[in-house]
Amino acid sequence: MNREQILKNVVKDIDLSGIKSLRSLIIAMEQSGGFVAKKVGIGFNIIREMINDRDCMRFLSFPACIIATGCRGVIRELIKRKIFDIVITTCGTLDHDLARLWRPYHHGLIKVDDSILHSLEINRLGNVYIANENYGVILEEKLQEIFSKIDFTNPLSTRELIWRIGEILEEEEKKEESIIYWCYKNRILTYIPGITDGAFGFQLWMHSQRTKKMMIDILKDEQELADIVFTAKRTGALIIGGGISKHHTIWWNQFKNGLDYAIYITTAVEWDGSLSGARTEEAISWGKINEKARHITIEGDATVILPLLIGALFEE
């Protein structure tokens, strides 16, 4: 690369008077330089290219925490519009999606005396406040009733279980607010590799104490994921945060020579060696992202970046 090629992109000021849409803002951010702003623009272009690739199987990976926030609406809309083919997430996503279907969450301050919250039976997730009766209590009441309607004679995969619950949610007045419902309705393949790690998983265990034949077969999920990656021409992923959902997504994609498109959104640091903080470049060394892939890591809060990216996408 010569000097002229290195200096081809001129820093352009953001002219707010010319910003008429989220898309025009993102374009201006990409041309402004300025660190993460440019990465948001690059990420937008990669997502758009991935979605327009008809031969690409698209993965959406995210942790539970954002489902406790209003960003749940953005995730729901992606699934409702069938933007992604496969969802890989955590047990807590089921917890928060279902709890919020039946009861409200509230928001306040992060800096608060948590011992007072504990004495008042209020749980805190960042600045989201969750009253006990709106979480564990309501989940136990509702889930035990739902599980009693499910035939566990033959072992179910987590994908089969989620679709069955989505089907039962047809009876709910506010069903269209639920991510689980839209995964079922649109037949989005949804996998929870850590199905026992949360309130939902605890209620499964509770139900198993009364129904000894009950069994969840997570290897059925793995077989489906194997079939997907072994037959897909290309794959891409929008990966929000980290943890088991991120790793499961990139793990399986190494068996098809890696993801062809990858967008990470993360607040985690790289220097501690964590999976959550690992950048897209590190995944290339493992073969989890293809060497020729279009990829970017956007450092920042997903509750800010995701609505911006997806809002601009939907404008098109």
Give the integer Cα–Cα distance in Å for 63 and 188: 17
213 is catalytic: no
Catalytic residue among 38, 213, 288, 292: 288
Which residues does 205 contact at the CB level (< 8 Å), separation at least 6? 196
How far CA 127 is from CA of 4, 100, 105, 107, in Å, comes to: 48, 16, 11, 6
Give the integer Cα–Cα distance in Å for 70 and 204: 27
DSSP assignment of 71-126 equals THHHHHHHHHTT--SEEE--HHHHHHHHHHHHS--EE--SSS-HHHHHHTTEEEET
The CB density around residue 113, as the number of other CB atoms within 10 Å, is 8
Active site residues: 288
